[in-house]
A and B are shown apart, each in its own frame.
Chain A
Amino acid sequence: NAGVTQTPKFRILKIGQSMTLQCTQDMNHNYMYWYRQDPGMGLKLIYYSVGAGITDKGEVPNGYNVSRSTTEDFPLRLELAAPSQTSVYFCASSYWEKLFFGSGTQLSVL
């Protein structure tokens, strides 16, 4: 069972560059989420989706975009990377209230 798979695991971006963080799940969950975790902080919700074609903003959506064309995939797009987006990004899918997380993408913007 792969569960929730995130790629890449690490990435360094220059200011102003763009990239897409990939997330895919094989549990057929309708709900998917993107969180970021800054050092010493809890996880903050960026965007979430309740099903294919439906997305909505979380607590900290500025600077990010998402799409959900299939049940399995929920990519997160950074258009103009800024140093404030240096963080660890976690994708998750849920079965009712229980979220299952991927192993994270560590992103540095320099």
Chain B
Amino acid sequence: DQQVKQNSPSLRVQEGRISILNCDYTNSMFDYFLWYKKYPAEGPTFLISISSIKDKNEDGRFTVFLNKSAKHLSLHIVPSQPGDSAVYFCAATVRDSSYKLIFGSGTRLLVRP
């Protein structure tokens, strides 16, 4: 029973264009959502997060949108750069649960020059 789903295993985007990565969740108790980025042979690194009381959070080229009624969030990267090529994991948590993160299966983004 996957509580966090990333249905697109891979995404290819041209440099300079927008990358949109999607994530769906089933547990309505989740109240905090995060995106992590992972390069090969490295651990995941935190990218951006959003609380369930918001519907948008921006940090430079990265924006996360949350649609609670649809239990859906997305990560927008504008403009995409070749260095953004990595695996992106969506994660969710219930804040009073010892911050245990539930991860999606990841989307591999390839940004072509």
Nearest A-chain residue to B103, judged by Cβ: A42
Our count of residue pairs bridging A and B at CB distance below 8 angstroms stands at 60
Which of B57-65, B74-82, B93-101 binds A? B93-101
Q: How far is the CA of A102 from the CA of B42 in the complex (A)?
A: 8
Q: How far is the CA of A31 from the CA of B95 in the complex (A)?
A: 13
Q: Is the interface of B mostly helix, strand, loop or mixed?
A: loop
CB neighbours (8 Å) of B89 from chain A are 42-43
- Size bin of chain B's contact surface: 20 to 34
Which of A13-21, A64-72, A73-81, A90-98 binds B? A90-98
CB neighbours (8 Å) of B99 from chain A are 31, 94, 96-97, 99
| Docked-complex contact B98 and A104, CB < 8 angstroms | no
Asked whether A45 is an interface residue with its Cβ less than 8 Å from the other chain, the reply is yes
A-B contact pairs, 29 of them (CB 8 A): A31-B98, A33-B100, A33-B101, A40-B9, A40-B105, A41-B106, A42-B4, A42-B103, A42-B105, A43-B44, A44-B103, A45-B100, A45-B101, A48-B100, A56-B98, A90-B43, A97-B32, A97-B99, A97-B101, A99-B46, A99-B99, A99-B101, A100-B46, A101-B44, A101-B45, A103-B41, A103-B42, A104-B41, A104-B43
